[in-house]
Amino acid sequence: MVHGLYIHIPFCERRCHYCDFNTYEGMTDLAPDYAAAVSADIAARAGEGLRAAPGGLRSVYFGGGTPSLLEAGLLLDLLDSARETFGLAPDAEVTLEANPSTADAGKFRALRRGGFNRISMGFQAAQDRHLEALGRVHRVADSERAWDLARQAGFEDMSLDLMFGLPKQSLPEWEASLDWALERGPEHLSFYGLTVERGTRFHALAARGELPLPGEGEQAGMYEEGIRRVEGAGLAQYEISNFALPGREAVHNRLYWENLPTLGVGAGAWSFVDGVRSGRLRGPAAYIAAVTSGRDPVAESERLEGREARAEEATLALRMNRGLDLGRWAAARGDFLVEFGAALAPAFRAGCLEREGGFLRLTPRGRLLSNEVFLALL
Ligand SMILES: C[S@@+](CC[C@H](N)C(=O)[O-])C[C@H]1O[C@@H](n2cnc3c(N)ncnc32)[C@H](O)[C@@H]1O
Ligand code: SF4
């Protein structure tokens, strides 16, 4: 039984210099075969007996890569497959991740009419020089245009992503990015501190000492200023990197952080079904070949059990500002602090965790240092 469906679209016009997602340049010719394979993958899972939770899927999320590169017809075919195979809840959230470079009025209108009701756009920064340094294909004016086109097409639930801690980024520039983003009036906003991932161009530059990133203290200041400004605009923080107007928290994100079963289809997509976490073949051509010849496209899987499963679930719950419900946890799995109290004692002492009203949660300092807290738990 699954509550949500994630559909991975592994194509991009060009790879950004910081990105280590499962995505490929110059492969969009594969898109029609790829979409057919994803539909077949969905049908095969239903053929094996997989069903949506009662009431239908609560979320269908097209992530990437750049889903907005695909023709509207292919995206709508995929949504139809999900709808016909699993059924959608009447208020299901249907999200498209979009790159501003791909904005197209006709495409947005067709998607809105066909049942997409949420768009998440990668803005990243309000300065062209930063977009260029990141290797983004769009510029600030494209972001503004894309946003307006999506609004005109009838999207009333829109999110945008920003990044901070960029090479040579100053605090005033970050503040300007936040203010510019908030002027667009998003219902939801995510921001992330740049992570230098192995295998990326930024990683190679950093290894040569050629990636001048802001210092740790400056990055912490940027994170704190980000929270202040976004919350000042009425979007409450509900997770380490995510903010929303009341009632606009992303259903897709919440399913994941609440550790509810979801099916992920497409190259490299992750699923969590019946206590098993599994990942599909990462190469688009290998994925298409496997699905079309009736083979299982899963490349790796792991059953999470015992303490490991509980620790994983706890880190997901602690990412959210509401925190971990100690009473609910005790009813299902025993006393959380008896099992994990010793491991978390240093985090309590460092002022990273607090216990209040039956919940255990990260403090603002804990959200800044969340990786260290989670490492102690895992
Ligand atoms: C699923 S990703 C990709 C969305 C979309 N493909 C795009 O780039 O516009 C969502 C967000 O994660 C963030 N992100 C991706 N790689 C990152 C990295 N190495 N460090 C920090 N944030 C990153 C970006 O803000 C990005 O918009
Ligand atoms: S557009 Fe998004 S997925 Fe594609 S390369 Fe850039 S960050 Fe990665």
**Binding pocket residue ranges, ligand 1, CB within 6 Å:** 18-19, 63-66, 97, 99, 122, 124, 161, 163, 192, 194-195, 197
- State the residue for tokens 């969340």: 370
pTM over 0.75: yes
Rg (CA), the chain: 21
Q: For ligand 2, what atom is nearest to the CA of residue 136?
A: 6
To test ligand 2's pocket by mutation, which of 22, 66, 194 has the most ligand atoms within 8 angstroms of CB?
Answer: 66
| Average pLDDT, consecutive stretches of 10 residues, N- to C-terminus, the chain (378 residues) | 98 97 97 98 96 97 97 98 98 98 97 98 98 98 98 98 98 98 98 97 97 96 98 98 98 94 98 96 98 96 93 96 96 94 96 96 95 92
Cα(334)–Cα(172) distance, integer angstroms: 48
Tokens of 103: 């904005």
Residues 191, 162 contacting (CB under 8 angstroms)? yes
Give the per-residue pLDDT at 378.
86
Distance 328 CA to ligand 2 centre (A): 38
Q: What is the CA angle 213-372-321, rounded to 5?
A: 95
Strand partners, 191: 162
Distance 193 CA to ligand 1 centre (A): 10
Closest CA to 3 of 66, 75, 61, 43: 61
Give the per-residue pLDDT at 30.
98
Number of H helices, E strands in the chain: 15, 17
Tokens of 18: 């910081």
- Give the residue whose CA is nearest to atom 13 of ligand 1: 192
The b/e string for 93-123 (b: 16+ C-beta within 10 A; e otherwise) is bbbbbbbbbbbbeebbbbbbebebbbbbbbb
Domains of the chain: 4-257 (3.20.20.70), 306-377 (1.10.10.920)
To test ligand 1's pocket by mutation, which of 18, 130, 134, 192 has the most ligand atoms within 8 angstroms of CB?
Answer: 192
Give the per-residue pLDDT at 119.
98
Distance 12 CA to ligand 1 centre (A): 12
Sign of the dihedral defined by the CA atoms of residues 64, 65, 67, 70, in that order:
negative
Question: Would the CB of 145 count as within 6 Å of ligand 2?
Answer: no
Identify which ligand lies nearest to the alpha carbon of 196.
Answer: 1
Residues 311, 355 contacting (CB under 8 angstroms)? no
Distance 233 CA to ligand 1 centre (A): 23
Number of neighbours of residue 74 by Cβ within 10 angstroms: 19
> By CB neighbour count within 10 A (0-12 exposed, 13-18 middle, 19+ buried), where does 215 fall?
exposed
